[in-house]
Amino acid sequence: MSIDNIREGRSIIMKIKDIKIKQISVPLNTPFKTALRTVKSVEDIIVEIYTDTGNVGFGEAPPTGAITGDTTGAIKGAIEDHIKKSITGMDIENFESIIKKLNGCIVKNTSAKAAVDIALHDLYGQLYKAPLYKLLGGFRKEITTDITISVNEPEEMVKDSIKAIKKGYKTLKIKVGVDSKKDLERIKAIRQAVGYDVDLRIDANQGWKPKEAVRVLKKMEDENLKIELVEQPVTACDIEGLKLVTDNVSIPVLADESVFSPGDALKILQSRAADLINIKLMKTGGLHNALKICSLAEIYGIECMVGCMLEAKVSVTAAVHLACAKSVITKVDLDGPVLCREDPIEGGAVFNESKISLPDSPGLGIKSIHY
Which of 175, 243, 283, 326 is catalytic? The answer is 175
SS (H, E, C) the chain: CCHHHHHCCCCCCCEEEEEEEEEEEEEEEEEEECCCCEEEEEEEEEEEEEECCCCEEEEEECCCCCCCCCCHHHHHHHHHHHHHHHHCCCECCCHHHHHHHHHHCCCCCHHHHHHHHHHHHHHHHHHCCCEHHHHHCCCCCEEECCEEECCCCHHHHHHHHHHHHHCCCCEEEEECCCCHHHHHHHHHHHHHHHCCCCEEEEECCCCCCHHHHHHHHHHHHHCCCCEEEEECCCCCCCHHHHHHHHHHCCCCEEECCCCCCHHHHHHHHHHCCCCEEEECHHHHCCHHHHHHHHHHHHHHCCCEEEECCCCCHHHHHHHHHHHHHCCCEEEEECCCHHHECCCCEEECCEEECCEEECCCCCECCEEEECC
CA 71 to chain CA centroid, Å, is 18
* Residue 175 is a catalytic residue: yes
Residue pair 312/345 in contact by the 8 Å Cβ criterion: yes
Q: Cα(144)–Cα(334) distance, rounded to whole angstroms?
A: 9
CA 239 to chain CA centroid, Å, is 21
Q: Cα(180)–Cα(322) distance, rounded to whole angstroms?
A: 34
Q: Write the CA distances from 35 to 190, 207, 234, 335, integer angstroms.
A: 18, 6, 12, 18
* Residue 166 is a catalytic residue: no
Which of 113, 173, 280, 313 is catalytic? The answer is 280
The set of catalytic residues is: 175, 280
